[in-house]
């Protein structure tokens, strides 16, 4: 079993907490004949999410929405092939991949100091310092952005274009490791989640073919258009060339019959008794990928752009 310290960061409202909750839910619902995924909670925060996650369907809001402090999750995560001739070639052996995951969910405001009346700057400064300490020890990093902002009005879109400046700031405070040339962070795997892809597809005018439309877009290229060259230069500046990178679309809401999940988007069933049909209709999309990638470095759904950081420049040339 490996021990793994990971962080999830991204601007406020990027869907970080929803992604974590949807991941824990998706593991509990997972069923495929070739292999099994299991999570065992190791602390109360994780138990709380596992217990309350279906409230999402009743209220339309996650019971822990709008994260205001650093929240530690601690769980065991296991991936096991059901038979040795698994179609997933990356399971060479019959042994399960088990990791103990210490995951920290952070409020977007602690890194991406957005202005807003509700932000307590003194508290955010404190969380920011604590986050930097966690970052110094992190082996895994999940970065979340809101893919639907691609369609936002210009000033909002610029927010994504400036993400790199905030990242440069915290990364520069977390550097401890030495490396040939510039010092680098100790992160070994970094996964960029293009969250809320259901909303993006809806805004693009896709309906029943929304899910299919996502499969037609290269996540690395999308990230390049959304985040700009500055973001990728930041990765190259602070992470070692051997760092494994994954890029994928994710959606905590997921899709229903190929289209956006209107039950969640329009709030049908919200505020009412949860009915079985509402629970059955919630199928988060590609939310397992970030966590499987951090644990194993593998492309779980087959839809992840995986590469080493040292190959990034070459790959980005294709999109210029
Ligand atoms: N359409 C859609 N909405 C989503 C998705 N994921 C999250 N949301 C919504 O986006 C809002 C923000 O989600 P959160 O998970 O609270 O965002 P966060 O990044 O944790 O935000 P902070 O804790 O404030 O930093 C909520 O209203 C969610 O219901 C998604 O996959 N699709
Ligand atoms: Mg949150």
Find out whether 287 and 229 touch, Cβ atoms under 8 Å.
no
The rounded distance, in Å, linking the Cα atoms of 128 and 169 is 11
CA of 211 to the centre of ligand 2 (A): 25
Q: Measuring from atom 27 of ligand 1, which residue has the nearest CA? A: 61
Q: Which two tokens stand for residue 197?
A: 């892809």
Among the bound ligands, name the one nearest to the CA of residue 11.
1
CA distance 43 to 64: 16
Q: How many whole angstroms from its chain centre is CA 168?
A: 19
Pairing mode, if any, of strands 2-9 and 244-249?
unpaired
Q: Which of 312, 220, 213, 201 is nearest to 265 (CA)?
A: 201
* Dist CA 121 CA 126 (whole Å): 9
* Alpha-carbon distances of 113 from 54, 103, 167, 169, 233, rounded to whole Å: 31, 22, 11, 11, 21
Among protein residues, the one whose CA lies closest to atom 3 of ligand 1: 196
DSSP string, 204-228: TT-STTHHHHHHTS-HHHHHHHHHH
Ligand 1 site: residues with CB under 6 angstroms?
Answer: 10, 12-18, 65-67, 107-108, 195-196, 198-199, 251-253
The 10s digit of each residue's pLDDT in 130-188 is 999 999 999 999 999 999 987 776 665 567 778 999 999 999 999 876 667 789 999 99
pLDDT confidence of residue 251: 96
> 238 C-alpha vs ligand 2 centroid, how far in Å?
25
Which of the four pLDDT bands, split at 50, 70 and 90, describes residue 1? confident
Ligand 1 pocket, mutate which of 252, 261, 267, 284 (most atoms under 8 A from CB): 252
- Residue 235: pLDDT band by 50, 70, 90 thresholds? very high
Decide if pLDDT at 84 tops 80.
no
Q: Which ligand is nearest to the CA of 110?
A: 1
Q: Which residues contact 164 (CB under 8 A, 6 or more apart)?
A: 227, 228, 230, 231, 233, 234
Nearest to 10 by CA among 217, 159, 224: 159
Q: What distance in angstroms lies between residue 280's CA and the mean position of ligand 1's atoms?
A: 20
Structural domains of the chain in order of their starting residue, each with its CATH number:
2-317 (3.40.50.300)
Ligand nearest to the CA of 252: 1
**Contact in structure between 162 and 169 (CB atoms under 8 Å):** no
Could you identify the atom of ligand 1 that is nearest to the CA of residue 202?
A: 1
Give the torsion through C-alpha atoms of 193, 15, 160, 238, to 10 deg: -50
Phi, psi angle pair for 252, to nearest 5°: -70, -35
Output the CA 177–ligand 2 centroid distance in Å. 29
The predicted structure's pLDDT at residue 2: 84
What phi-psi label fits residue 294: left (phi over 0), alpha (psi between -120 and 50 degrees) or beta?
alpha
State how far the Cα of 79 lies from the Cα of 288, in Å rounded to an integer. Answer: 11
Cα 293 from Cα 315, distance rounded (Å): 20
What's the average model confidence in pLDDT over 306-316?
Answer: 96
């Amino acid at each position: 079993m490996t021990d793994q310290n990971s962080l999830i960061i991204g601007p406020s409202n990027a869907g970080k907490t929803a992604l974590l909750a949807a991941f824990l839910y998706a593991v509990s619902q997972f069923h495929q004949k070739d292999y099994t995924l299991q999570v065992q909670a190791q602390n109360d925060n994780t138990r709380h999410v596992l217990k309350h996650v279906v409230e999402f369907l009743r209220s339309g809001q996650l019971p822990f929405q709008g994260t205001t402090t650093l929240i530690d999750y601690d769980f065991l995560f296991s991936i096991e092939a059901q038979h040795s001739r698994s179609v997933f070639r990356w399971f060479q052996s019959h042994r399960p991949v088990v990791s103990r995951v210490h995951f920290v969910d952070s409020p977007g405001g602690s890194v991406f100091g957005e202005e807003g009346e509700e932000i307590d700057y003194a508290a955010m400064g404190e969380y920011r310092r604590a986050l930097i300490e966690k970052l110094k020890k992190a082996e895994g990093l999940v970065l979340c952005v809101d893919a639907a902002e691609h369609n936002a009005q210009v000033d909002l879109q610029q927010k994504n274009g400036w993400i790199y400046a905030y990242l440069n700031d915290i990364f520069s405070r977390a550097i401890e490791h030495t490396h040939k040339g510039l010092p680098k962070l100790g992160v070994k795997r970094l996964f960029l989640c293009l969250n809320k892809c259901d909303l993006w597809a809806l805004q693009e005018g896709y309906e029943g073919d929304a899910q299919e439309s996502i499969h037609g877009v290269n996540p690395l290229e999308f990230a390049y258009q959304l985040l700009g060259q500055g973001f990728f230069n930041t990765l190259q500046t602070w992470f070692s060339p051997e760092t494994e990178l994954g890029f994928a679309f994710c959606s905590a809401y997921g899709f229903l019959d190929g289209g956006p999940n209107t039950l969640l988007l329009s709030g049908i069933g919200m505020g009412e008794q949860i009915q079985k049909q509402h629970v059955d209709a919630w199928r988060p999309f590609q939310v397992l990928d970030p966590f499987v990638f951090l644990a194993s470095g593998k492309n779980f759904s087959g839809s992840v752009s995986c590469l080493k950081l040292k190959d990034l420049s070459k790959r980005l040339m294709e999109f210029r």
